[in-house]
Amino acid sequence: MELRQLRYFLAVAEEKHFGHAAERLKIAQSGLSQQIKTLERSLGIQLFVRDRRRVELTAAGEYLFEEARSLLAHARRVEETLPLVDRGKGGLLKVATGSAGLHPLAGDLIDRFRERFPEVELRVVPGSGPQNLEALQRRDVDLAFVSFPFEPLEGLSLLPTGTLEIMVALSERHRLASKERISRRELLAEPFLTLSRTSDPTLMDHIHRSLFGDREHPSLIEAPDVNEVTRLARLTRSEELVGLGLPAEAELRIPGLAHRRVEDPVPVVEYGLAWFEEHASPFAATFIDSVRDDLRVGQA
């Protein structure tokens, strides 16, 4: 088997379609089909069950799918780590973090690990929750800070690290800014600026239920392409909008912007560290132990 053949095999297995896999790999579909047939002949085993619409893995294909992921991840890691070892580093660790400010402890935990283990090259990979979980499955990262709930994944380990209170952000001139806590009934009466549900459907549904209860908000405004700075600026300018807010944003004390808590029960998001036992870096277990030690110290 060649690594190139394994990459082609993985693309077809993940896409379940030769045409889509060929587009993803930027090669001709005929060439891809021939490479898969060559791989099957060399192994003497059928890897796919094909029909006109899609392809499915055989039992042997399912086994190779998991092994190929690990083999390719290890090959990538060797290629990435060699220059680091040449510069005197002990190895590489890749940790995914949230890109929406939902994991406030992550930065401190990463900084403390770097202080304790300077010989390890730790690279941070920001992304959304689904992106980070997909990166874990592909073994593109070793560990990921994730918010939950999320769709369960077989074999995934999770270490809870904290909870985050969900707040609302609004202009200081908004009529609700004078309140210390805002009721869910009042939130339902105001246009509400939120992140796109497509960014993380399971998590966003949880946040909306926590904020609004079982009722659907009648004036929900999704902002799929608005970055954090633009979103907060829009809320600062508007005397009509209320929006999703986080404690970390409140600490920035942006002029003209107020953050307010929501009535009991307080809406929260839990977050933690996730990983699969079969990870590429030998330093993943060291990072997990470091996080556990820090959490014990914090609880003492």
Q: Which residues contact 4 (CB under 8 A, 6 or more apart)?
A: 35
Whole-model pTM: value is 0.75
What is the structure's pLDDT at 226?
52
Spatial contact of 232 and 167, defined as CB atoms under 8 Å apart: no
Q: What was the pLDDT predicted at 159?
A: 95
Domain boundaries, the chain: 3-70, 89-163+270-299, 167-266
253 falls in which pLDDT band (50, 70, 90)? confident
Are 89-163+270-299 and 167-266 equal in CATH topology?
yes
Mean local confidence (pLDDT), 190-205: 88
Residue 246, pLDDT score: 79
Between 155 and 298, residue with greater pLDDT: 155
Structure tokens at 64: 């190779």
pLDDT at 267 over 90: yes
What's the rounded Cα separation, in Å, for the pair 225 and 64?
A: 38
Nearest Cα neighbor of 18 from 44, 4, 37 is 37
Greatest mean pLDDT range, 151-155, 161-165, 183-187:
183-187
Give the full edge-to-edge strand order of the sheet including 181-182.
181-182, 257-262, 167-171, 242-245, 192-194, 220-222
Average pLDDT, the chain: 88
**What is the 3 state secondary structure string of the chain?**
CCHHHHHHHHHHHHHCCHHHHHHHHCCCHHHHHHHHHHHHHHHCCCCEEECCCCEEECHHHHHHHHHHHHHHHHHHHHHHHHHHHHCCCCEEEEEEEECCCCCCCHHHHHHHHHHHCCCEEEEEEEECHHHHHHHHHCCCCCEEEEEECCCCCCCEEEEEEEEEECEEEEECCCHHHHCCEECHHHHHCCCEEECCHHHCHHHHHHHHHHHHCCCCCCCEEECCCCCHHHHHHHHHHCCCCEEEECHHHHHHCCCCEEEEEECCCCCEEEEEEEEECCCCCCCHHHHHHHHHHHHHHHHC
Q: Looking at domain 167-266, which CATH architecture does it have?
A: 3-Layer(aba) Sandwich (3.40)
| CATH tag, 89-163+270-299 | 3.40.190.10
Model pLDDT for residues 118-127, shown as the tens digit of each residue? 999 999 998 8
Instruction: Identify the bridge partners of residue 25 per DSSP, sorted by sequence position.
Output: none
Residue with tokens 């942006």: 254
Q: Is the previous residue joined to 218 through a cis bond, with omega within 30 degrees of 0? A: no
pLDDT band at 299 (very low <50, low <70, confident <90, very high): low
Assign domain 3-70 one CATH number from 1.10.10.10, 3.10.290.10, 1.25.40.10, 3.30.930.10.
1.10.10.10
Q: Is residue 264 pLDDT above 80, yes or no?
A: yes
Q: 40 or 81: which carries more pLDDT confidence?
A: 40
Mean pLDDT along residues 151-177 = 91
